Amino acid sequence: MNREDLSIRSCGAKSPAIGVLAIGEPHQLLHVLGPAAELSRAGLDVCILVTTDWHEAIIARFAPDAGLRIKRLIGWRRGGAIGDKIRRKWTLYANLLTLRRFDILLTPEMTSSILRERRLFGGMMVHVMHGAGDREVEGNERARHFDLVLVAGEKTRAQLIALDHVRPETCVVAGYPKFDLIDGRRMHFFDDTLPVVLYNPHFRDDLSSWPAMGAALVRAFAEGAEFNLIVAPHIRLSGAMRAEVAALAAGPLPANIRVDPGSLHSITMDYTNAADIYLGDVSSQVYEFLRRPRPCVFLDPNQTDWQDNAFYRHWAFGRVATSVGQAMDLLRSAVTDHADHRAAQVAGFDQSICAAGAASARIARAVLAAHARRHGLPAPVGA
C-alpha cells in the first residue's frame, strides 16, 4: 500500500494523527502493529504509545523500517515479566493530555472504552479485536463505545451483532493482521525428529486444564520417549498456576520437554508453527495453530457438557480427553485420526478468520474511510 492508495489530503483535509495504544499485555500489540505500519508507510503520522520494553522489542522485531514514532507513556517500565499486569485505567488517566493530541486512537484492548464512556476523548476510537477464539465475545459489551470495530471473521461479527454489542455498520470483518507480520516458517526447539506436541493451557484457573492435569501430563511425557513437549501457557497465567509453571521451568527437565513460563516465543507463533500436534483446552491460540490444519487433542478434566456450547465449538476439531492416560492414547493416534477432523478444522477456521487478502491493509483502509465519513468527507482513494 502506498501514499496514493490511502490519500485523504486530496479531500482537502489534514491527515489525522493516529495514536496506537499499547497499554495491554505485549501479545495484543501484534494485532495492531501491521495496520499501524501500513498507515505509517502511506505517509500518515502514526505513534505507538508504549508502556513496557516488551512492546518496544516487538516493534523492533516486526516493524523496524515502518517509520513509526514511539512514545513511552507515563508509567513505562523495563524488565518485568512479559505477562505482568499493566495498570490500564491508571495509565489512561495519567496520559490524557498525550492521548488528546491524536485524532484517532487505534487499540486492541477494551479498557480504553472508558475514554468515550466518560467523555474524556473526543476523537475517533477504533478497536481491533485480538484473537479469533470461541469466547472472544465474552465480556465485550464495551465494543459499543468504539466508532469502528474490526474483527477477524464472520463468526465474531455475527455474535457481537446478535448480542447488541455493536451496530452492523460499525463492525467490519478484516481478517487476522498478526498473520501479516509472521510467516509460517518452522523453528526447531529439539535436536531429534520426534513429533512435537504443544501444550497450551488457558490462563483462567476455572477454564484451564493445568490445575487438574498439567503436572501429571509433564510426568507422562517425561516417562515416555514418543514425543517432544512444549509447555507454553498463555502469558496471562497468574497466581498459583504461574508459580507452578515457573518452578517447573527452573528445574531439571528431560531433553524432550521445554517449559516456557513466558517469552516472545509464546506470542509470536514460534511454538504454534513448530508443533505437529496441539494439546489444549479453550485457548484461542488453537486458531493460530490451525492456520495450517494439523491434529488436535483437547483436555476436559471437568467432563464438560460441551457439544452444544458455542464456547467449545473448537473441540470438534479433534478428540477430547478427560484424563491424562486418555490424552496420551489420543496423542498416539492423533495423526491417524486427523482425517476425521480436517474438514471441521478448515470450516471452523474459515468462519473465524477471513484469510482473503492482507488484513493490515484492509484495516488501514477501513480506518481512513470511517474517519472520512465521520467528518463528511469523500472516502480516501482505495478505501
- Both 209 and 308 in one domain: the answer is yes
Structural domain including 307 reads 196-352
- Both 223 and 365 in one domain: the answer is no
* Position 262 in a domain: yes
Provide the pLDDT confidence category of residue 205 given band limits of 50, 70 and 90: confident
* Position 379 in a domain: no
- Both 131 and 228 in one domain: the answer is no
| pLDDT in the model for residue 381 | 61
**What pTM was computed for the model?**
0.92
Tell me the mean pLDDT in the region 86-114: 97
pLDDT digits (tens, 9 = 90+) for 268-301: 999 999 999 999 999 999 999 999 999 999 999 9
| pLDDT in the model for residue 379 | 73
| pLDDT in the model for residue 4 | 39
Is a pLDDT exceeding 80 seen at residue 380?
Answer: no
| pLDDT in the model for residue 376 | 86
* CATH number of the domain that residue 91 is part of: 3.40.50.2000
* Position 44 in a domain: yes
- Both 238 and 275 in one domain: the answer is yes
- Both 226 and 145 in one domain: the answer is no
* Position 270 in a domain: yes
pLDDT digits (tens, 9 = 90+) for 300-352: 999 999 999 999 999 999 999 999 999 999 999 999 999 999 999 999 999 99
Q: Domains in the chain: how many in total? A: 2
Three-state SS string over the chain comes to CCCCCCCCHHHCCCCCEEEEEECCCHHHHCCCHHHHHHHHHCCCEEEEEEEEHHHHHHHHHHCCCCCCEEEEEEEEECCCCCCCCCCHHHHHHHCHHHHCCCCEEEECCCCCHHHHHCCCCCCEEEEECCCCCCCCCCCCHHHHHCCEEEECCHHHHHHHHHCCCCCHHHEEECCCCHHHHCCCCCCCCCCCCCCEEEEECCCCCCCCCHHHHHHHHHHHHHHCCCCEEEECCCCCCCHHHHHHHHHHHHCCCCCCEEECCCCHHHHCCHHHHHCCEEEECCCCHHHHHCCCCCCEEEECCCCCCCCCCHHHHHHHHCEEECCHHHHHHHHHCHHHHHHHCHHHHHHHHHHHCCCCCCHHHHHHHHHHHHHHHHCCCCCCCCC
* Position 228 in a domain: yes
Tell me the mean pLDDT in the region 133-157: 91
- Both 126 and 257 in one domain: the answer is no
* Position 382 in a domain: no
* Position 122 in a domain: yes
* Position 206 in a domain: yes
- Both 313 and 277 in one domain: the answer is yes
- Both 117 and 13 in one domain: the answer is yes
